């Protein structure tokens, strides 16, 4: 038996936040645990390790950095929404000024959000 999943969420995470995990950083362990909770709630994840992002700082300087894109397809009736909010809140709490998310649903189509 299979279930047709019609909702997805992509969260863009800077590589530097993930890389700190290998140095034993507490942030990255907390972040990886939250990503793992999302993956468990959704049943799986699609990961793009080779993405990059660009942004401008307050002085107009352009910055480029490697990022990872995590995309989960999920059942909106499950526990996924709470798990995904944990990933966003951890990033914001630990210094990210904004977190990019892309949500897809039959009701709204595909919508990008930047959470500050």
Total number of residues shown for the chain: 116
pTM: 0.82
Q: What are phi and psi of 64, to 5 degrees?
A: -125, 140
**Which 8-state DSSP code applies to residue 76?**
T
Q: What is the pLDDT of residues 19-73, one digit of tens each?
A: 665 555 666 788 889 999 999 999 999 999 899 988 888 899 999 999 999 999 9
d(CA 35, CA 64): 23
Contact 34, 87 (CB under 8 A): yes
**Measured distance CA(98)–CA(116) in Å, rounded:** 5
């Amino acid at each position: 038996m299979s279930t047709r999943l019609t909702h997805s969420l992509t969260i863009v995470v800077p590589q530097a936040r993930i890389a700190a995990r290998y140095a034993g950083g507490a942030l990255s362990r907390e972040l990886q645990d939250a990503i793992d909770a999302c993956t468990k709630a959704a049943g799986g994840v699609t990961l793009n390790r080779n993405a990059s992002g660009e942004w401008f700082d307050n002085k107009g300087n352009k910055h480029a950095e490697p990022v990872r894109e995590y995309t989960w397809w999920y059942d909106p009736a499950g526990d996924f929404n709470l798990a995904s909010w944990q990933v966003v809140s951890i990033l914001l709490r630990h210094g990210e000024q904004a977190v990019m998310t892309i949500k897809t649903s039959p009701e709204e189509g595909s919508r990008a959000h930047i959470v500050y």
